[in-house]
Structure 1
């Protein structure tokens, strides 16, 4: 095993953050949610943000108030503001009106959450100032449909044992306008809803073009994308990477295809299985089953052992 990436001090990492910007990674684990400060490929402080065993985690960015953290737990979906520089500086986690929660994501300025019964809910914080987040969190969540055995949510997509589902409709026309539609596949384990839709299933990795197209055969367990052509996936325990291209004259992401030839296997600096994937501004993240966070800002993977087990998800938030 390679040595941990701890060859610079916390103070040096803080100085580096001043020029490179900072991203916080929130890792859902059986111990709680661990907040990790990242600057470029440097990993700084990490601490517990919540202490309830977490099944999933998501961050809702807001321009006029502090970002909001949502944590899926056995006792329900909990939300808290993320105001301040340390994990305890925001509001205390509050119930969001969803029972035992198994997955959570962000879509159209609101949270989407799945409960243990397979119901999918939308939780909006519209009009709630940051200071009133605790009260806003108690608003009733709106049920928009149900699936069998939900596993993951990303953007408008829901991964479930009965395949991939998509939230359709316009929330500004009222919650009743939102519905779920099945878009195919079976035994979906994870989805990526940014840019070209991707799905990790028991039969392989798929991308949505003219129907679902195969990107890789095998047992796919995780996938993430940044919406700009970059993507990560775990297939048969290997970490696959798709490097984005920028072929468009307007600087938009070019289309180099999403089939098997557009992916490559990458080696992490530790011999551990990646189980949670994510993207932040200029960084890709892979967290392993042994609790090691790996980050790549373009110059290869660096890593930091977090000392936690039962990793179930990761969400990233731009801080500076």
Structure 2
């Protein structure tokens, strides 16, 4: 087993961000959202950013204002700005000491949230799918526009234009995204979908396996697939039968199909735990296990840090500097 992050001194953790840049990972857990500072393959300080049990989390990146955090909770979808108000970028690389000020948007219990077309897409507990816009760029009790755009059976995850649900994968339509015709969702097949990745080639994790969308849904791996993520540039992660599968530059051209079984390899994580939430930041792959261990790979192998939380349900990454 690889060494844990205990070999990194406190001084190193305070200054590492200045040399490699920093990404903050927001991890949805049963204790709330944990914010973790990452730079390259080093894991820095981490703390609870919100204290409501979270079912999912997403970050809407904005170039001229603070990034926006959305947290799906049993009470509502909560949204609010993160960062210092200048594009969400920290001045000194330190983890902000104040909790983000989040406001409910009024969809009641939320189970999943993602980002698409400059807004949040959120699923409520009854299967309703909502587009959540900031009126004039602002987000808050009086500056958030919520439009119901359709309904699915048993929503589980949202990523880009894709929604994973008990009744399969659904895709948000183009002109209908603002609810002009009463329903903006199109069923695109499969069943018992647990997670989706909407960046680049569409991917779906289902009870029967991992699929990619080519000429219809094509199998990438048989088994119990529970999570998937992609960076839109040909890299992807998937959790299948408790293993972490990786599609990267070393193996993504392994066959003519490009996304079939031979294009994936099993990653050698530094802990014997099941991956539960997957994500990408600039130059980094991140996997958080069901036991609450965050693993990060910047190209030289996986490093890890135990976060001391349980009930991991989702992850979102935000560029700080």
* Structure 1 residue 247: Cα displacement: 10
Alignment correspondent of 2:219: 214
TM-score relative to the length of structure 2 = 0.91
Tell me how far 1:175 sits from its aligned partner.
4.1
Report the CA distance between 1:109 and its aligned residue. 0.4
Which residue of structure 1 aligns with residue 110 of structure 2? 101
Partner of 2:87: none
Structure 1 CA distance for aligned equivalents of residues 41 and 79 of structure 2: 28
Q: TM-score, normalised by structure 1?
A: 0.92
- Mark the runs of 5 or more structure 2 residues left unpaired by the alignment: 85-89
Q: CA RMSD in A?
A: 2.1
- 1:169 positional shift: 1.6
Is 1:169 equivalent to 2:178 in the alignment? no
The 5 A counterparts of 1:1-320 are 2-84=2-84, 85=90, 86-89=95-98, 91-129=100-138, 133-136=139-142, 139-170=144-175, 174-176=178-180, 179-244=184-249, 257-320=258-321
Give 1:189 shift. Answer: 0.4
Any unmatched runs of 5+ in structure 1?
A: 249-253
Q: Distance in 1 between matches of 2:43 and 2:310?
A: 19
Contact 1:125 1:136 in 2 (8 A): no
Alpha-carbon distance in 2 for matches of 1:24, 1:221: 24
Cα 1:271–1:245 change in 2 (3 A) is closer
What are the Cα deviations for residues 29-73 of structure 1, in whole angstroms up to 9, with x where unaligned?
000000000000000000111000000000000111100000000
Where do 4+ consecutive residues of structure 1 move more than 3 Å?
84-91, 244-248
Cα distance in structure 2, aligned partners of 1:75 and 1:313:
17
CA-to-aligned-CA distance 1:100-137 (integer Å, 9 cap, x gap): 000000000000000000000000114134xxx33455
Q: What whole-Å deviation, never above 9, does each CA across 1:167-223 have from its counterpart, x for those lacking one?
A: 01237x854267000000000000000000000001110000000000001111110
Q: Is the 8 A contact 1:47 1:87 kept in 2?
A: no
- Check conservation: 1:206, 1:214, Cα contact below 8 A: yes
Q: CA deviation at 1:17?
A: 1.1
Check the 8 A contact 2:147/2:178 in 1, yes or no: no
Structure 1 position 93, deviation (Å): 1.1
**Matched residues, number:** 310
Deviation at 1:96, TM superposition (A): 1.3
